[in-house]
Amino acid sequence: MIATMRVPLARLAHARSGDKGDASNVGLVAYSAELYEVIAREVTAERVRRHFSVICRGEVERFEVPNLLALNFLLHDALGGGGTASLLTDAQGKTHGQGLLEMQIEVPEGLF
Amino acid sequence: MKTVRIANGQGFWGDSVDAPLHLIAGGPLDYLGMDYLAEVTLSIMMRQKLKNPAAGYATDFIDFIRRALPQLVAKNIRVVTNAGGLNPKACREKIFEVARALGVSGFKVGVVEGDDLLTRLPDLLARGHQLKNMDSGLPLAPLLSHVTSANAYIGAQPVAEALAGGALIVLCGRVTDTALALGPLVHEFGWAADDWDRLASGTICGHILECGAQATGGNFTRWWEVPELWKVGYPIAEVEASGSFVVTKHPGTGGLVTVDTVSEQLVYEMGDPKIYITPDVTADFTSIRLAQDGADRVRVSGIAGGPRTPFLKISASYLDGYKAAGQVTVSGPRALEKARLAADLVWKRLERAGVVFAPEDCATEFLGVSGVLPGILPAPVDPPEVVLRLAVRDADRAKVDRFGKEIAPLVTAGPPGVTGFAGGRPKAQEVVAYWPALLAREEIERTIEVSVEAIE
């Protein structure tokens, strides 16, 4: 057994978000090639969907961008209709990147 | 080796009015891109133009020209912008008027037209172009009478043509944001229309620049590491003929250009990284190589692209009912409980008045207790204060206006400690919804017109 610990995703990666049509687009960039392996394994589309379960009513798509050590997520139906139609304060998903970084990730002890 | 220096001084209409002036004054520059159009801005401009045939462009751009024109002419810094909106020729006349008032002459202004499809919609639909919504798949025809604007995203070639005609300023309407950078590069380096790798490089250069300070330390995750963000330098790309470029900013400015700040901007609103589609090329973000190249310098290289698609994207807008939002601030003790009661009072009083909204057409947010990120961060149990924000939308304007009258009574007929109700009753605003569609590119390309005129 490898001893593990839980850390916020913010320890492993940084993020930025905005809107893409009616979806929220959350880009996640790992701080190193080693940490990219961890986020690519741990931060699945399904986990992101569960993390945003109150916000995201639709599917989550995930794209891998290994050259940038990045994952890109599209959270469908997460903006209350999007653009000008939305009634939400964050109609463009500007805060969703910060929200994703709060996800708790299981990593081997001594990873850092 | 020839290097072209392209900056972006305006990431959106509402961005810093001083940023482009600092770019002009702060060091050498060949081109300055200025973006003013959001997806629904053209709808607002259409309404302005219907009232006044000489309106319908970004008036902030005229304020910029008034301040910057002498320097642009003296330094030969060429400006490419979508500020022309729905009336680029009227915008050009206004620029000439400003120039005459300033006593500035000896320059040309180019205009790119052909993106405005509003009057062509009935004909296009009649000839079998359904203009189906890219998200929902629904056809446009049933909504035709509600459509307030319809524009095609056009690419870099007409921009390059205007520059080849000697324009110091190129005024476009709905040109892609990335074309504000790619147009000058096609002009300077003569990249062929099927040189996909270089066109993709110029496109990705445009993507990095298009949101202004977001490439140079703005909106950066580790915001506490960004020096002197108050005087952030807006981004500059130094581009070589190969398509490889360096992202940087003027010396002495604040902000930060690192692989991390540039990476964040690359993933911003990226979509599918392998197929970033523009009118000019399909760019592949999985080919990008980034490397730190000194302080506040990031080298971008290795970019691959593929053929452009047979379609251009259309952005239409249509009226889709009304909405209104209002808010009050509720102090503690028991702030959240009081805010919940206040929300309940509003909805019950509206119901008694016979004004009921569908569940998806009303929103209640408690800002300060995970209001924008519900379900993610644990909310404090008893916060010292809460902002209650209520919003509704409906096809019936009278219902939305009635909602607006039910916020102020909370101050006297609600729980204690309700304040911050300022600015009067929330009024119904038109919801201008966005309709993305695709159209065969020949339909648009055959009507694109480029004209370059010198000031008399």
The H or E element that residue B99 is part of is helix B88-102
Q: How deeply is B240 buried, as exposed, middle or buried, from its count of CB atoms within 10 A (0-12, 13-18, 19+)? A: middle
Biggest CA–CA distance in chain A, Å, is: 52
pLDDT surpasses 80 at B40? no
Neighbours of B13 (CB within 10 A): 19
Cα B341 to Cα B68, B330, B368: the distances in Å are: 53, 11, 16
User: How near does any CA of chain A get to the CA of B117, in Å?
Assistant: 21
Phi, psi angles (nearest 5°) of residue B356: -125, 135
Which residues lie closer than 8 Å to B289 by C-beta, 6 or more apart? Answer: A67, B299, B300, B301, B302
Chain A to chain B Cβ contacts (< 8 Å): 131
pLDDT band per the 50, 70, 90 thresholds, residue B172: very high
Tens-place pLDDT, residues B188-210: 999 999 999 999 999 999 999 99
pLDDT computed for residue A49 by the predictor: 98
262-281 in chain B: CB under 8 A from chain A: 263-274
Tens-place pLDDT, residues B312-361: 999 999 999 999 999 999 999 999 999 999 999 999 999 999 999 999 99
CA distance B43 to B433: 9
Residue in B221, B290, B433 closest to A84 by CB: B433
ipTM given for this complex:
0.97
pLDDT computed for residue B147 by the predictor: 95
Give me the CATH topology for the region B319-435.
Answer: Alpha-Beta Plaits (3.30.70)
Tens-place pLDDT, residues B380-422: 889 999 999 999 999 999 999 999 999 999 999 999 999 998 7
Residue in B39, B264, B389 closest to A83 by CB: B39
Cβ contact A84–B135 (<8 Å): no
Most B CBs within 10 Å: which of A9, A32, A68, as the mutation test of the B interface? A68
pLDDT band per the 50, 70, 90 thresholds, residue B43: confident
Cβ contact B365–A14 (<8 Å): no
Cβ contact A63–B433 (<8 Å): no
pLDDT surpasses 90 at A83? no
Q: Nearest-5° angle of CA B240, CA B305, CA B299?
A: 35
Phi, psi angles (nearest 5°) of residue B141: -45, -45
pLDDT computed for residue A20 by the predictor: 85
> End-to-end distance of chain A based on CA atoms, in angstroms?
19
pLDDT computed for residue B329 by the predictor: 97
Cβ contact B221–A68 (<8 Å): no
The H or E element that residue B385 is part of is strand B385-394
pLDDT band per the 50, 70, 90 thresholds, residue A112: confident
Mean pLDDT of chain B: 96
Residue in B263, B323, B377 closest to A29 by CB: B263
pLDDT surpasses 90 at B248? yes
Across B437-448, average pLDDT = 96
- What is the residue whose two structure tokens read 């300055």? B32
Tell me if B432 sits within 8 A of B318, measured CB to CB. yes
User: How near does any CA of chain A get to the CA of B19, in Å?
Assistant: 22
CA distance B192 to A78: 40
CA distance B113 to B89: 9
Q: Report domain extents, chain B.
A: 3-115+153-309, 319-435
Say what the pTM is.
0.96
pLDDT computed for residue A85 by the predictor: 86
pLDDT computed for residue B449 by the predictor: 98
Across B419-439, average pLDDT = 90
Residues of chain B with pLDDT > 70, as a percent, come to 100
SS (H, E, C) B401-441: HHHHCCCCCHHHHCCCCEECCCCCCCCCEEEEEEEEEEEEH
Contacts of B270 in chain A (CB under 8 A): 20, 25, 27, 63, 65, 72
Tens-place pLDDT, residues A7-66: 999 999 999 999 987 799 999 999 999 999 999 999 999 999 999 999 999 999 999 999
CA distance B68 to B58: 16
Tens-place pLDDT, residues B262-286: 999 999 999 999 999 999 999 999 9
pLDDT computed for residue B422 by the predictor: 74
Cβ contact B286–A66 (<8 Å): yes
pLDDT band per the 50, 70, 90 thresholds, residue B44: confident
Sign (positive/negative) of CA torsion B138, B139, B140, B141? Answer: negative
Contacts of B290 in chain A (CB under 8 A): 68
pLDDT band per the 50, 70, 90 thresholds, residue A81: confident
Q: How many helices (H) and strands (E) does chain B have?
A: 13, 19
